[in-house]
Structure formats: C-alpha cells, structure tokens
Structure 1
Amino acid sequence: MGIDNRKSALLAIFVFILFLFFFFYPVTLVDEGDNNIRVFSTGLTQVIFYDDIQYTFKEENIFFYEEIPFEEFILLNVQNGFLLRQSGDSLVQRQSNDSSAMVYFKNKNTLYNLYNLDNFFYNEKWLEELVVESKDFLENISEIDEPMYIIYMDQSRSFQVLPSVYVVNSSKDLVHELSHYFFGYKVKASPTDTWHEILAETNSLLFLREVYPEEYLKELELKKSGFYDEPYGESVISFMEWLDFDKEKIFDIERYILNNFDRLDDKRFENLVENIN
C-alpha cells in the first residue's frame, strides 16, 4: 500500500512538473484564419506583434488561445516556447529564432499576389523602377540572392524584418532598409551599436545623389541642420566627409566588412574607418 502511494505521489509530481514545463515553455501553433492569426498554445505564450490596423507594435501574453486580427500585414515574434509551428497561405517568412519573426502578408485582401522581379517581390506596381534601381545600386556591395519582399505601407515609419521582409513608406527608404540585409543580418550588430545604421543611411544618401540629386541635396541639408536624431544626422555626414564623399571608398570599406566579419561593434568600426586615410 505504501509503495502504491509513493508511486502515485511520484506520478503526480511528474505530471505537475510536466504541466509547468509546457505552461512556461509551451508548444505553440500559429496559423491563419479569416483576417486573423490564430495562436494555439499549451500554456503561456509571450508575443510581440505589429498591428497593421493601429500601426503600432504590441506585446501580449497569450494563454492557450487567441486570435489577432490583421488586414494586410502582420509580423509576429514568439518569445518563449519549446516548439513553434507556423503555417498559412500568406506566410512569407518563418520565425527561425528568438530575434527573428514570422510575417504574413495579404495583398488587397487576397492571398498574397505580389509583383515579381527576379528574387524581389513587391506589392505595388510603381515600386518596380525603384526596386530595379535599388537592386542595381546595392550590387556595388554584393548580390542579394535570397527572396526579398518589399511592402509599401502608408504609415509613420519604414522598417525591416530580417532577413527577407522590408516595409517602406517612401521611396528614399528602400536602399536604407535593404542595406540592413548586409549590415545587420549578414554582419551582426548589437542592439546598442550604430555603425550599421550609419552605413545604411550613407547608402541611402549615395543612392539619392546618383538617382534623385535634388532629393539628395535636401537630405544633406536636413542632416546638417540637426533635423534627424543621431546616428542618422551628423554622424552620417562625418563618416562621408572622412571618406571624401567618395562612393568607391565607401563601397570598398563596406565590401571589406561584408567579406571579413560575421559580427562588428562600433569600436572596431571606428578603428577600420580611421585606418583608411
């Protein structure tokens, strides 16, 4: 009788520990419903997602099940879990680790029906010329051979969901965001580093100078006047001045970084730049 009680107690403890494990490190299934994302979980799932209805990022704790509505675009990062499953007809990028995100995109409420140029996909026809120009420009650094999804959305800011999804709200932002495929994804930076932002914004300026010279002059004045927060203002100008605003010198150091580093920090970047001249 005592042995049976001990076995029952051990079984109860085991089941309780198993419950706690799957509650705090849940198996999570994410799939697509009608105008929503459905999250099924064995416990507590912590998520960060972009709400394309209110145009804002949100954090939420999901207990067992929740539906998250979206109209055209949603990105979702599951921050905890033992096992993550992702599915859906409009899933264009899967979450591969804690620092990446899954992305669902529907174009005009139909399952994603994007324009296509080589490995670039985009949701507005007028983006085609910009995609061609940006792609050609960035090939000065290196080719991009992965699928790239360019999504235009009329909202307050542009951003990227590395490695494959780039959300832009203006034509001048595309080269900046795509530059993070090289500097931010191929060559990693820490959350406190700014070197990759300086390079991305430098590329954006060089692109404007080459393709839209009037816009370039406007951006140059805005950066010099302190209109932009750092590192998007004077830091970019200082970097370009150090290299004489010379496109080839800038591309040389960018290619060097891309070919010789998997990760870079601000101090090492400063040393590289100082040793150029």
Structure 2
Amino acid sequence: MTQTMIAVIGGSGIYDIDGLEEARWQAVDTPWGAPSDEILTGLLDGVRLAFLPRHGRGHVHSPTTVPYRANIDALKRIGATDVVSVSACGSFREEMAPGDFVAVDQFIDRTFAREKSFFGTGCVAHVSVAHPTCPRLSASCVAAARAAGITIHEGGTYLAMEGPQFSTLAESRMYREQWGADVIGMTNMPEAKLAREAELCYASIAMVTDYDSWHPEHGEVDVNEIIRTLMGNAEKGREMVRGLPALLGSERAPCPHGCDRALDYAILTAPEARDQALVARLDAVAGRVLSNA
C-alpha cells in the first residue's frame, strides 16, 4: 500500500482549490524546467492533495506553451499517485451541453508543436496508450460529480487541437461527423501521454463551455459566453474534487489497470547503451525501473 496523493491540474477558470488544511504553495524544480506555477499542497479530508494551475495563476501560458513535461515531473516528484485533469472543452454532441462534464476515455491527438515524451535518443521507451485514462480513477470522478449533482457523461473522445485559435466550421464538422470526436480542447495532449510515461493514474474531466462551431443554432464560439459558463463550471469542478478523498482513501493498492507499472517492459535501450545524462533527468519519472537496471 502507498499513501494517496490526489493531484488536480486545473484548467481555464480553475486557479486554486479552497478548503485545504495545512495549505501552502511550493516551488518545485524539475530537469525539464519550471512547471506552470508553484504547486498548492495540503490535506483534504485527511487525504493529501496537490493542485497545479495548468496555465498558471493569472492564465499566463497558452495551450502550446504549457510546460507539460515539467508539470507531470513535478507532480510525480512530490509524490502524486492520481492525477485528475480538469479542463474546458467544446462539445460536438447535442446531449453534451454547456455546463455538463464529460469523463473522457479516448483521445485524438492533433497537436504538433509540443514535446510529447520524457524519453528519446539514448533512452528509448514505448508505453501503451490504447486506454489513456485510468478506469478506476475516472469512475471515482464520475461518482464524485454525480454526488455533487453535476451532470456528467461517462466516456467520450477528446480531440486535442494545437490552438490557440478555435476551429473553423469545416474542421468542426469533420471532427464531429467523420472522426467521431465528442469534445474538443487544447490541453489534454501530451499531458495524458506523459502521465502514462510517469506511471501515474490519469483521469480527464472535460467541462463543456460551448458547441464549438458546428451547431446550427449556436454559431461560432463566443468567448464572452465561454467565460460565463467557465465561472459556473469552475465551482462545479471544485465540488467534484471535494468528493474524491472519501472515494479514493488515504492509502491505495497497486492500480488494477497497471497504470503504475506502465514502464515494466517499455524501455528498449540496453542499460550499457543508455545516455546517463538523460537517465539522470528521468529520476522521478522512471526511477522505479531505471534504478533496478
């Protein structure tokens, strides 16, 4: 058994978490640079919790410039076991209405200007992301949301676009009608892939703010409407988080889906051929397997 630490990555509109005991903001250094901001840590109903604003307080990072590797490394470095991503999204489905939440279970990655792996030349690894979110953690988020009276859809495909502009009408129609995506956002990739490389359980809760640009009755994305919906969603997101400690507990067994063992057979580079400088940078992310090599 290990001690649970729930890590919440807050997206647009969520820049802090209230109600923490022993709360403090702390700077964390990583070999991948500085994370988006300091990390707020404390206790929520007796369970350790860490909160990291994805865009930084004051929303200083665009989706492309978010330091995804530093964020995931920093959370793993301070002891996070379960990462809950909370982010704004557009909806391609009538029934996934603004104000609803979606527990994402699949992704289509259309980003192209971001570093997507901790590994590379000198230490090559391939992890499986066939099922990129943790079913156990996602189910806990769904249960916490429903207990808080939030409308949440269980399962959905998230189209991750580069941004920062919103979709054209043609793109919106293609993603919805031909590709079968359910929601669209700019930040869950490569975050989910990096969490898997770091052997962290990861759940993605997408908060619907708009219908992108496909909906004939809603027209193009209106930033003012998005902001109004964001404010309501932000409090709902905090309510969901407040319900997680009771569901996850202060101690956790190994992940039944193997998220915490994702690197068992992933590293292909022979020990004698590994770049020791890169190996040193991987101390928090992959220390469990590299230290035994």
TM-score, structure 2 normalization:
0.26
TM-score, structure 1 normalization:
0.27
- Higher RCO, Cα 8 Å, sep 6+: 2
Compare the two structures and name the one with the higher helix fraction.
Answer: 1
Compare the two structures and name the one with the higher strand fraction.
Answer: 1
